[in-house]
């Protein structure tokens, strides 16, 4: 099933040949200008990456950086997140704004993943079927995990 507005395309040979050049440029730019955030650590678990991506929705990275470690300490797993009292979860999310919506999204997502045995899906289609995960978040999770 095709997403509305999705237009398939093929890259021209010229575009394909420029990919290595673009990759080098992007990596060089990031080396000079990229910011370091805890969720970019290659040792992060899929849980920690997905939590970061949900926290980053409609919130600044700087704000998430201030609350990320404490949030993970308080809710270290899908199980802890799924069983968290809504009020406590809302209080943990309050500094980021939209705490009610994020608390509900986190609980629904955690319950869905717990039903899958705690495993984060590895395909875009499966990720996008989870509550709170759209195309951007699915792409970010797949790129990092």
- The set of catalytic residues is 53
Rg (CA), the chain: 17
CB 109 within 8 A of CB 131: yes
- In our burial notation (b when 16+ CB lie closer than 10 A, e otherwise), range 25-53 reads eeeeeeeeeeeeeebeeeebebbbbbbbb
């Amino acid at each position: 099933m095709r997403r509305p507005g999705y237009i398939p395309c093929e890259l021209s040979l010229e575009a394909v040949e420029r990919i290595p050049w673009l990759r080098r440029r992007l990596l060089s730019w990031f080396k000079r200008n990229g910011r370091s955030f805890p969720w970019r650590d290659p040792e992060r678990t899929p849980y920690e990456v997905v939590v970061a991506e949900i926290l980053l929705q409609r919130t600044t990275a700087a704000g998430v950086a201030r609350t990320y470690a404490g949030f993970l300490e308080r809710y270290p797993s899908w199980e802890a997140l799924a069983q968290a009292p809504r009020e406590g979860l809302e209080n943990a999310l309050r500094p980021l704004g939209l705490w009610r919506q994020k608390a509900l999204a986190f609980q629904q997502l955690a319950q869905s993943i717990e039903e899958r045995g705690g495993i984060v899906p590895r395909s875009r289609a499966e990720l996008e079927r989870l509550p709170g995960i759209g195309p951007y978040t699915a792409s970010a999770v797949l790129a990092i995990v």
